[in-house]
A and B are shown apart, each in its own frame.
Chain A
Amino acid sequence: MDRYARHRAIAGFSQEELQASRVAVIGAGAIGNEVVKNLCLLGVGAIDILDFDTVELHNLTRSVLLREADVGRSKAASVARRAARLDPAVAVTGIDGDLWETLTFERLRRYRCVIGALDNFEARLRLNLLCWLAGIDWINAAIDSRYVTVETFPFGSASVGSDPVPVACYECGLPGSVYQKIAERYSCGGLQRAALARRIMPTTAITASIAGAQAVNHALRLPRAARRWIFDSHSGLATQANLSRSPACPCCSTHPPAAAMGRPAAGEATATAIDAAARAAGADTIRLSDGLIWSCECANCGSTDATRAVELQRAAAVSDGITFCLQCRSQAIRVQIRDEFEPGELSARFPPDAAIPARFAIVGNGCIDLQSPATERPDATMTTTEHLT
């Protein structure tokens, strides 16, 4: 008996093509659970599930694959364990980590598409940028307690031969109010605010299941243009609209598309290598993906052990508590954060073999991946033989 007999009866449906593909699901929350369930039932060849979070009790009202025994455990690993039981032929892998640090370009290029089931704007902006640079199709799914949105960004599929046809990206259609919200989470142009509670958004299993179904549906039949589908679960009304490119888009108007990106090479993550690449490309500017704390000192005490400790760190990883000087007990620390450099500036400050704490560097029309494939964490592929508690 063929497990996929009903699929094979669908005109134009290729089970073999699906079995040969690998899909990434970013976020193992309510929508992520539904997406993974659907992909497994369809018989997709391989699924990578990525999430840095752990399971909490309130997740269980919306997450079809999670159980009470999973509370406190890794979301990605828990969802992968349960999903592997749905179809032993599907290789399900749980990756416990942040997408910015874990999704190398090398890894991204393995996927047929990426489905974003995230719960905040910053992560979506980052996933959108990585997929834009890598030229990989991605699908964004989002919900509240009433509405469902699924957006498609065919960065790879909308190509003519090997040339990508630029389509709108996630940021092209975002209102300015979203950036204001993101800015509230940071101070001094990049330091993370020490105390800022994130608003809890109400969601339900109903909107999550609709989002999961439609996201996978879009993944199977990706349109050639960026498109948004919004559904009102109360009235049953749905609207579909095309997204146009914005000439002022902070993502796709300022970053090179897939065709202009060189393949990242191991050993290129040092300042010396980046400076050399910039000189070779004739570029007069190096743009890092992350702002660095370039200088930090107290207006009263000058440079201290505390200020020196955060210099050359990634600004977003440092709390704005650093602006308070423990020596003179005043808010007198001055911090300079930079993400643009002239060739030679980075190698003048960083030791020759030190890695730059950023995700990538834009040099001319090229992009250097600073997250080398060698740093990828080993992942655990889940099988049905694994003991489930």
Chain B
Amino acid sequence: MNDRKLVLRTADQSRRADIDFDHSSTGSEIIQAAVDNWSLPADMDYTLVNTTTGQVLNPSQPLEQQAREGDVLEVQPVLVAG
């Protein structure tokens, strides 16, 4: 186990938390935790963006390849209407 600290927030920045994550955690697991803990609308789809690096994260890859200690991750809705 190799826990790291990250900042997680919503796109409107109304929700923000310091989180510890295991090196094997994936983006989709972080998103699910945010939806559950912050009661985000469950019928929406979300992606995770590392605002420190300016990169959209691959939801299926381990976070350790995509984020460093102290990075700020943002949970963004995937919009569908036009």
Contacts and interface: CB of A to CB of B under 8 A. Distances in A.
Contact of A175 (B12, B28, B79, B80): B28
Contact of B81 (A116, A172, A203, A243): A203
A254 interface: no
Interface residues of B, number: 26
A176 B81 contact: no
Contacts of A187: none
B45 interface: yes
B78 A178 contact: yes
A9 interface: no
B34 interface: no
Contacts, number: 93
Given A173-B47, A241-B55, A30 B82 contact: yes
A82 B11 CA distance: 36
A243 B56 contact: yes
B58 interface: yes
Contacts of A173: 47, 56, 58
A119 B81 CA distance: 4
Contact of B13 (A27, A237, A243): A237
Most buried by A among B13, B74, B77: B77
A56 to B, nearest CB: 14
Interface in B42-66: 43, 45-47, 49-51, 54-56, 58-60
B55 A176 contact: no
Interface size class of A (residues with CB under 8 A): 35 or more
Nearest to A141: B82
Contact of B12 (A118, A177, A232): A232
B8 interface: no
Interface in B1-33: 11-13, 28, 31
A57 interface: no
Contacts of A149: 78-79
Interface string A38-78: 00000000000000000000000000000000000000000
B11 A232 contact: yes
Given A232-B11, A241-B55, A142 B80 contact: yes
A117 interface: yes
A174 B80 CA distance: 12
Most buried by A among B12, B43, B81, B82: B82
Given A30-B82, A147-B79, A241-B50, 14 more contacts: A116-B82, A117-B82, A118-B82, A143-B79, A174-B45, A175-B46, A176-B59, A178-B78, A201-B81, A237-B11, A237-B12, A242-B55, A242-B56, A246-B58
Interface of B: 11-13, 28, 31, 43, 45-47, 49-51, 54-56, 58-60, 74, 76-82
22 contacts: A31-B82, A121-B80, A141-B82, A142-B79, A143-B81, A147-B77, A149-B79, A177-B45, A181-B45, A199-B43, A201-B80, A228-B56, A232-B12, A239-B49, A239-B74, A241-B51, A241-B54, A241-B56, A242-B54, A242-B55, A242-B56, A244-B56
Going nearest first, the 6 A-B pairs with the smallest beta carbon separation are: A142-B79, A201-B81, A119-B82, A117-B82, A241-B49, A177-B45
